[in-house]
Structure 1
Amino acid sequence: MIASLGMYDFGPAQGANDRLWALIRTGLRGRGVAAPETLTRGEHAYWDAWTAPDLVLSQTCGYPFRARLHDRVAYVGTPDYGVAGCPPGHYRSVFVARPDDPRRHLSEFHGARLAYNEPLSQSGWAAPQSHAAKLGISLLPGVQTGGHRLSARAVIEGAADIAALDAVTHALLCDLDPEVAALRIVALTDPTPGLPFITARGQDPAPIFDAVSEAVAALAPDDRTALRLKGFLRLPVADYLAVPDPPPPEQIAALI
């Protein structure tokens, strides 16, 4: 059995996730759903977990969910992180640049080098590319970093001009890293459905949803604050599937 909560799992959030999982695990077992004792972490917490036939619970990103997973897993629900300017269960990306960059508006970053975590990231690639296209500008695939923290670092160190960070990750990083907190916010993308919780196809998501909802409500206030967690709800899967897919990095790079 596998459970992972790897999307927001660093700094104080890691201990809070362990305590959240302990509550979820108790709720699952009380409902007759077998659950592993501990969370899976590291490289196996992502694609390996999301596609595992014995997946009990994990959190994925909206882009992988709509592109590769929605017909291979069962949707459980979506956490609400209370992101400013977003409906419940939604989030957005934060465009960040160096504080000394003279460009003040996103439209001035036409042709800029974008640091992005991976091509199947909603917040790091899809949302910023869709937002740029609406403005009639291009953000070029500057460097693929493998993570939002590394994308922020690429901007800080000058390897890229701009990055788009998941708003929740950005808030968590600002609490931990003064250099990330010093990055200037250039723009915000439109809200999209937040990072969904999933279980293996064939699992009944109803008791899992109930266990997670109960656990979130019972979580200690300090842990809720550490996770920025406000609640847990269900969104229509169609809302995820309706989000547009941008061209992949190699297609945009070929136009340079």
Structure 2
Amino acid sequence: MTWIAALPMYNVTPALDFEWREWLADVLRMVKPACRIVEPDEELHGFWRRPNLLISQTCGYPFMHGLHEQVQLIATPRFDAPGCEGAHYSSVLVTRADAPFDTLAACRGARAAYNQDDSNSGMNVFRHAVAPLARAGLFFSAVLRTGSHLGSLRAVAENRADIAAIDCVTFAFVCDEMPELARQVRRIGTTAPSPGLPLIASGTVPPATVEALREALNEVLAAQPERAKRLRLQGFSVLPSSDYERIEELENEARAVGYTRLA
């Protein structure tokens, strides 16, 4: 079997995409399987379920909604970014730099943007933050699905939306790599934290290979500290799958007060 690998989640710019691919290539050289780094040529939910997937990164929301039954957790990155604490992260609530909103509560009747229906950082924790403020399941005047965190940031910056929840790691990379976009928005809050985006392997990957991947992650990180700094990587934690139940708890807390979707 020829293994495949991809890191599709934090490629905010072409330069970062190159850095992540180089980092992944170094990890794979240490583990030494026959493995190709690929660009997912299908919808990510299908890609993450490929039986020859050696390593990739997923969002915690799809992980808890069925994916965890078919893959193995390798590790969860620890990022150096405002809003991260250990292997946990939160989302930044942003509005336009010149918008009149200073709090989430002040955004009643405003326009929201979010990336995807199955995103923890862009939808689930956003829904959880809004839920106590909603009335009869409603809070916003309009909701726009953009397809990506960058799309949501641009929608806010271009006055097509008033507020969005942005993964704090993505937002830190935007501040590093796209400062002109970062200057067009302003933080007005932070969501509840939850475990970060996990690195996963197919259930067919031998346990010894998973252990070798964990060792390689930290060895490659230590070997090039300047690259680790650019990627904002501090290390990796091996979390039990049960830690990710926090994502379902956030969903259930919103649903319990009648706020089942961003609206």
| TM-score bin (small chain) | 0.7 to 0.9
Q: 1:119 to 1:210 in 2, by over 3 A?
A: same
Q: 1:166 to 1:35 in 2, by over 3 A?
A: farther
Alpha-carbon contact 1:76-1:234 (below 8 Å) kept? yes
Q: 1:226 to 1:44 in 2, by over 3 A?
A: farther
Q: 1:142 to 1:46 in 2, by over 3 A?
A: same
Alpha-carbon contact 2:52-2:204 (below 8 Å) kept? no
AA of the residue aligned to 1:142:
V
Shift of 1:43: 4.8
Shift of 1:90: 1.0
Matches within 5 A, 1:131-142: 131-136=129-134, 138-139=139-140, 142=143
Equivalent of 2:21 in 11, 15, 18 = 18
Three-state SS of the structure 2 residue aligned to 1:164 is: strand
Alignment of 1:242 onto 2:246: yes
Alignment of 1:227 onto 2:225: no
Shift of 1:44: 3.8
Alpha-carbon contact 1:156-1:179 (below 8 Å) kept? yes
Alpha-carbon contact 1:132-1:139 (below 8 Å) kept? no
Matches within 5 A, 1:30-179: 34-37=33-36, 39-41=37-39, 43-44=41-42, 46-136=44-134, 138-139=139-140, 142-177=143-178, 178-179=180-181
The share of aligned pairs that are identical, in percent, is 35
Q: 1:35 to 1:173 in 2, by over 3 A?
A: farther
Normalising by structure 1, we get a TM-score of 0.88
Q: 1:238 to 1:27 in 2, by over 3 A?
A: same
Q: How many residues align?
A: 246
Deviations 1:198-221 (A, max 9, x none): 000132222222222222222x23
Three-state SS of the structure 1 residue aligned to 2:189 is: strand
Alpha-carbon contact 2:97-2:183 (below 8 Å) kept? no
Equivalent of 1:206 in 193, 211, 233 = 211
AA of the residue aligned to 1:230:
Q
Which ranges of structure 2 fall in alignment gaps of 5 or more residues?
Answer: none
Alpha-carbon contact 2:95-2:186 (below 8 Å) kept? yes
Alpha-carbon contact 1:75-1:198 (below 8 Å) kept? yes
AA of the residue aligned to 1:150:
G
Shift of 1:136: 4.8
AA of the residue aligned to 1:186:
I
Deviations 1:30-65 (A, max 9, x none): xxxx2424x222554833321101000000011111
AA of the residue aligned to 1:217:
A
Shift of 1:159: 1.5
AA of the residue aligned to 2:171:
H
Q: 1:64 to 1:141 in 2, by over 3 A?
A: farther
Which ranges of structure 1 fall in alignment gaps of 5 or more residues?
Answer: none
Alpha-carbon contact 2:12-2:170 (below 8 Å) kept? no
Alpha-carbon contact 1:154-1:160 (below 8 Å) kept? yes
Q: 1:76 to 1:23 in 2, by over 3 A?
A: same
Separation of aligned partners in 1, 2:216 and 2:134: 45
Separation of aligned partners in 1, 2:241 and 2:229: 28
Separation of aligned partners in 1, 2:173 and 2:78: 15
